[in-house]
Amino acid sequence: MKASVQGFHDQQGNGALFEDVYLIEGKRTPFGKYTGSLSTVSPTDLGILASRAAIETAGVPAEDIDQTIVANIGQASADCFFLPRHIALYSGAPLQSTALLTQRICGSGMELLGQAAEQIALGKANLVLGCGTDTMSRFPLASYSARQGFQLGRPEFIDLLWEALNDTAAVPMGCTADNLAREYALTREEVDAFSMRSQERYASAQAAGFFAQEVAPVAPKGVLEMADYKPRKYRLNNREAVAADEHPRRTTMEHLAKLPCVFTKEGPTTAGSASGIVDGAAAMLVASGEYVRANGLKPLGRIRGFASTGVKPDIMGIGPVPAIRLLLAQMGLTLGDIDRFEINEAFSAQCLAVARVLELDQDKLNVNGGAIAIGHPLGATGVRLALTCLKTLQRDGKQLGIASACIGGGQGIAMVVEAC
């Protein structure tokens, strides 16, 4: 068998189906809370740390990497223009290999895995390093008019962290969740209960050691070196090593019920039912079956296909519904064929609306908790979803999984993976 791809597109969206393309292994940094431990580390350095850990775990020589594909949404360091290339080189990829940046906002991490599979199926690579990274705490204040001058006492600056959460064509992201809550008659109690479940499931999985297999601890400081080039230094904000996600919290329904609505007066979205603003990176190695067999590797699973679709911007959170339906139809599968779903919890109301429309079995959905607990570093989330999905399938002895996310601006993306 040889790696191959079959593209498709229609009025519903577009995507690709793959044969003989594998996800070997992956790792991620802990996801650090807003202005927490990782907030002083550039997204480039977080990407290098995650990529080095993924390469080591996969057991492949870095010099075999043909391409590096990176997702990064917030340009949060002065060298951001070189971010993909620096992640590649400082992770050990050879000088002659290439690196590029991809951006599909919240779906970028999944998009880069799909693009990596396409490159392999087209014969342009045998091994691709995929990495998503964002230090959201470092999203800058920016002035786009300073070079042209401004009136006395009227400098213009904007907060790019807020702008990342605000669709100027429609409404802020949180309002789209409240829109879905109204459309699908979701109550505040239902939304809070979903948030509570995310936290509880994460706590149970963490206590059982599940996340230890995907998280690579980050030392309090370090020097990232590459022969013949300048070393990169980083230091954590709290000056202590971090080995676990910082955003999850223990809460109660009573506490969640007391939180005020933050986007609309009617709600129901609160700080407790929105994904965490966090810092972190995740990386995976994508390879052809030829490479896997030649090197005697035992991959986590296969990429079977991925699809993306467009939806109305003011209900962007429903995006996973048409993306999942489109992909399953192209593959000749049904929702009943899928053993586990990892759907990004941008907001509880959003994910709950998706589950309601698709009539998903809640026992198959985000069984280890989701972004309400873990957080949502925009460029890294898609990689994290695919990694967690495969690790979950492996643990539970299941076969097929779907990773999916809604996307700001009104899109959805979905990927079907199969455990090996």
Active site residues: 106, 406
Location of structure tokens 């129901």: 268
Query: What is the DSSP code string of 356-380?
Result: HHHT--GGGBSBTB-HHHH---TTT
DSSP type of residue 60: -
In terms of phi and psi (left: phi > 0; alpha: psi -120 to 50; beta: otherwise), the region of 92 is: left
| 295 SS3 class | coil
Q: Which amino acid is at 332?
A: G
294 Cα distance to chain centroid: 30
Q: How far apart are CA 303 and CA 295, in angstroms?
A: 19
Where are any strands of DSSP class E within 168-277? 221-224, 232-235
251-257: long-range contacts (C-beta < 8 A, 24 or more apart)? 251/195, 251/196, 251/199, 252/196, 253/192, 253/193, 253/196, 256/192, 256/195, 256/196, 257/188, 257/189, 257/192
Helix (H) / strand (E) containing 402: strand 400-407
CA distances in angstroms from 272 to 4, 201, 250, 275, 298, listed in the order given: 44, 15, 11, 8, 39
Distance between CA 403 and CA 366 in Å, rounded?
A: 10
Pairing of strands 232-235, 13-19: unpaired
The 3-state DSSP class for residue 71 equals strand
